[in-house]
Structure 1
């Protein structure tokens, strides 16, 4: 491999044997090296990042040029935990944002900058498994890097895991989706007169349905083949759930979305399921 550019002592852009430029990391891998030199000792290479449609080589280099190797290694371990616990594929699309986030979080701690986490409640309620892995990430940072991050950093890590699960470009869609799911759960709880247990399997299934609903909305790929017989059956068997689904529809369409009648039917069925065993509200 030929060195194209040294990023820091532990990182360099090199031209691989397939003539593609990649970013390689390793302890002291680029120390004292210059452009045009050969780097053929595979034993010193710790991480390899290849460009793709979402991550051109310059973008990867920008991520990694200022991030210490130990932080990238820790981010890779966090990604592995996410894979083990959540089934999320370990990829550079996950490792790079995690490393970037971890580096900024460490910098904030060292500067004494406090961070607000406005979606703390929503994320904790909607994504408890992701938050649990986020806590493991905080523990890994303390063990591997000697930095005690705020406990609520688990919330930020959880959002990265949710984002990776849906392959979103950037965090904004994930944050927006989380806010919308929180509002939908409020409508269902108030409309149906129940208290939803965020840790129950029924609520977990309902949140999963909502996640995919929002993915279909964003992709303009909604279900749209309603059956008159099915529509009448759901209205008759679950009138309260259907009315609740219509309220959710109004809520979402106020934000610019357009739900099909088919989606409303599926939503009504999920509302009926999630509220069947929920605790009746007394307030």
Structure 2
């Protein structure tokens, strides 16, 4: 790897042997690092491939390391690595920038005694337990590394970073909007059948997962595969109550969010609702 630009003692812009631009991080990796020289790769802790908008990415990193101490960046990197392992995914440089900025701000608020609680705190805990567990682990990591004990509610705030930084959402706000809609839909289902869904059950987890991708398809205008008229007729006839419930959900989406899913989506939703109904009424 050859050095292109030293950003600070711990962050360097380099090019690999295939001329691929990379951001590398590590304690002391940028010390006496001069453009054109070979980099001491033994000092690298983390490598980020720069794919799109190269200058924009570099500017973001430069602003980050100028405003935020390296300890916050390194603890964020530790948290992200754990999340990548648990969620079996890969987060990019933008995730590091947003999470480090969030943790830095959260610690500053804590030191000033300012408490911020998301109105969706409990919804997030119920709907996305895997991400919230990672958020709880992150809060513990921050405590152990930075010696700052953040409020438990920060676990859900960090969980939203994991949700929004995947391939499904364009922003944390969009992820929060989807979370609120999912929570509303579950309330509609429970009210329709007059039962409470066991939130620890596999059926609940499957329903949440379906609703998540159902809503993503609406946001991204992804057309679902066609269903035959016969299949649609059979589902509506056999699962009348679940279809009526699905219609209530569709009406809610239309009136409250100006979203009008296709009949195929409504039928597919009916089948997922019916699965929950059967398990909850046994």
State the TM-score bracket (shorter-chain normalisation). 0.7 to 0.9
Measured at CA, do residues 10 and 253 of structure 1 come closer, stay the same or move farther in structure 2, by a change above 3 Å? same
- The answer on whether the counterparts of 1:224 and 1:260 sit within 8 Å (CA) in structure 2 is no
Task: State the TM-score, normalized to the length of structure 1.
Answer: 0.87
Task: State the TM-score, normalized to the length of structure 2.
Answer: 0.87
1:49 and 2:48 matched = yes
In the comparison of the two structures, how many residue pairs are matched? 279
Unaligned ranges ≥5, structure 1: none
How far apart in 2 are the matches of 1:3 and 1:85? 33
The answer for the alignment partner of 2:219 in structure 1 is: 218
1:230-245, aligned counterparts within 5 Å? 230-245=231-246
The answer for the alignment partner of 2:169 in structure 1 is: 168
- The answer on whether the counterparts of 2:91 and 2:165 sit within 8 Å (CA) in structure 1 is no
How far apart in 2 are the matches of 1:119 and 1:14? 41
Unaligned ranges ≥5, structure 2: none
- The answer on whether the counterparts of 1:74 and 1:141 sit within 8 Å (CA) in structure 2 is yes
SS in 2 for 1:48: strand
Give the drift of 1:181. Answer: 0.5
Q: CA RMSD in A?
A: 2.5
1:274 and 2:268 matched = no
How far apart in 2 are the matches of 1:16 and 1:38? 12
- The answer on whether the counterparts of 2:203 and 2:276 sit within 8 Å (CA) in structure 1 is yes
The answer for the alignment partner of 2:67 in structure 1 is: 66
Deviations 1:29-84 (A, max 9, x none): 445x5864736222233333332227632233333433332222222222232233
Deviations 1:86-136 (A, max 9, x none): 323354344333223222222222233221221111101111121111111
The answer for the alignment partner of 2:197 in structure 1 is: 196
Higher normalized contact order (CA 8 Å, seq sep 6+, divided by chain length): 1
Measured at CA, do residues 37 and 84 of structure 1 come closer, stay the same or move farther in structure 2, by a change above 3 Å? closer
Measured at CA, do residues 65 and 239 of structure 1 come closer, stay the same or move farther in structure 2, by a change above 3 Å? same
Deviations 1:173-214 (A, max 9, x none): 111111111111111111121111222110100010011111
How far apart in 2 are the matches of 1:60 and 1:101? 15
- The answer on whether the counterparts of 1:88 and 1:161 sit within 8 Å (CA) in structure 2 is no
SS in 2 for 1:118: coil
The answer for the alignment partner of 1:229 in structure 2 is: 230
The answer for the alignment partner of 1:100 in structure 2 is: 101
How far apart in 2 are the matches of 1:239 and 1:68? 59
How far apart in 2 are the matches of 1:166 and 1:89? 10
1:122 and 2:123 matched = yes
Measured at CA, do residues 111 and 43 of structure 1 come closer, stay the same or move farther in structure 2, by a change above 3 Å? farther
